Amino acid sequence: MTRQPSSYVRISREVEEALLRSHPIVGLESTLIAHGFPHPLGLETAAASEEAVRAAGATPATVALLDGEIRVGLSEDELERVATAGARKVGPRDLAAALADEAVGATTVAGTIAVARLCGIHHVATGGIGGVHRGAELTFDISADLAELARTQVCLVCSGAKSLLDVSRTLEVLETLSVPVAGYGTSSLPLFYAAESPYELHARVDTPAQAATLCAIHWDIRRGGAVVIANPPPRDSALDADEVERMIARALADAAQASVRGPEVTPFVLARLHERSGGRTQTVNRDLIVANAGLAAEIAVAAAHSDRSRA
* Distance (Å, whole) CA 129 – CA 116: 16
Q: Where are the beta strands (DSSP E) in the chain?
A: 9-11, 25-28, 59-66, 69-72, 88-90, 105-107, 123-125, 155-158, 181-184, 203-205, 227-230
User: Please, how many CA atoms are within 13 Å of residue 29, restricted to the half-sphere of its CB?
Assistant: 30
Is 89 catalytic? The answer is no
- Taking the alpha carbons at both ends of the chain, their separation in whole angstroms is 23
- Contact (Cβ atoms closer than 8 angstroms) between residue 107 and residue 63: yes
Burial of 262 (0-12, 13-18, 19+ CB in 10 A): exposed
CA 302 to chain centre: 20
Question: SS3 for 108?
Answer: coil
The length of the chain is 311
* Among 16, 50, 78, 162, the one annotated catalytic: 162
* Among 16, 29, 50, 148, the one annotated catalytic: 29
* Distance (Å, whole) CA 270 – CA 286: 13
Contacting residues for 96 by C-beta, under 8 A, at least 6 apart:
none
- Contact (Cβ atoms closer than 8 angstroms) between residue 129 and residue 149: yes
- Contact (Cβ atoms closer than 8 angstroms) between residue 195 and residue 186: yes
- Contact (Cβ atoms closer than 8 angstroms) between residue 258 and residue 119: no
Is 162 catalytic? The answer is yes
- Contact (Cβ atoms closer than 8 angstroms) between residue 78 and residue 30: no
Residues marked active site are found at 29, 162
